[in-house]
Amino acid sequence: MARTRSSEAHDKVLRAALELFAERGIDATSMDAIAKASGVSKATIYNHWTDKEALLMGVMALIHGLDREREDVDTGDIRSDLTTVLTRRPPDEFDEVRNRLMPSMIAYSATHHEFGMAWRRRVMEPPRNSILRILQRGIERELLPADLDLEVAVSLLLGPMLYTHIFQRERLAKVPDIGPQAAAAFWRAHAEARGAHLKAAGISKAPKDK
């Protein structure tokens, strides 16, 4: 299907803004500069984004793959579904420019609090909601304890991802993906422990991940 002029202009602006934000910093990049670099009029840019922060949000969504619809994973295997969510990664094509942009993004978020909060919600809410749905299915299928604290469980699962991203950034290419390990550890602590408890209590029905 051929792309429309509107979609082409949209893409040009996003990529021009990305390069300028990464090269000059966010505060130092004007909408005029983005219009000039993209070859798209400022009036057209404002037809797509209300202001520079809206455009910045669009840029960040692009390089982190948040603009792509992610299907709710439900294979029937709760542990595998958790692993899938925890191992989702942003598009490889933006690795280099994303690394250049992130220091500016962090600094900008620290001084523009409402944007920082909106960005954190945009980043964290999709995986958080996916994990919540998976855990709820695990409870409904009697694979996980009925009294499982869902907020604590989500924190336990996402915590290792945040730790790796923040403290192990320079070693990411050298260390194994921690997502499967986090899912496995959680499963041992809750699903397998529940199964062992049922067995010890003389309850024959052991949890089956189906």
- In this prediction, residue 47 carries a pLDDT of 94
Beta-carbon neighbour count of residue 13 at 10 Å? Answer: 25
Could you tell me which residues come within 8 angstroms of residue 61 by beta carbon, excluding any fewer than 6 positions away?
67, 122
pLDDT at 170: 57
Q: What pLDDT score does 15 carry?
A: 96
Q: Any idea what DSSP says for residue 203?
A: -
Per-residue model confidence (pLDDT) at position 102: 87
- Identity at 164, one-letter amino acid code: T
Residues of the chain with pLDDT under 70: 1-5, 69-71, 165-176, 193-210
Give the list of residues 6+ apart from residue 48 with CB closer than 8 angstroms, or none: 9, 10, 13, 55, 58
Q: What is the DSSP letter of 93?
A: G
Output the pLDDT for position 161.
80
- Tokens 């191992």 identify what position? 87
Phi, psi of 190 (to 5 degrees): -115, -55
Domain boundaries, the chain: 5-63, 78-200
Give the pTM: 0.73
pLDDT at residue 150 in the model: 96
Model confidence pLDDT, tens digit, residues 62-96: 998 887 766 678 999 999 999 999 988 888 899 89
Q: How far apart are CA 174 and CA 168, in angstroms?
A: 10
Tokens representing 200 are: 């010890």
**Domain 78-200 belongs to what topology?**
Tetracycline Repressor; domain 2 (1.10.357)
Instruction: For residues 192 and 144, give the distance between their C-alpha atoms in angstroms, rounded to a whole number.
Output: 9
118/25 Cα distance (integer angstroms): 19
- CB 37, CB 19: distance < 8 Å: yes
The angle, 0 to 180 degrees and rounded to 10, between the axes of the packed helices 31-38 and 5-24 is 120
The CATH class, in words, for 5-63 is mainly alpha
The pLDDT value recorded for residue 200 is 57
- Give the model's pLDDT for residue 192: 72
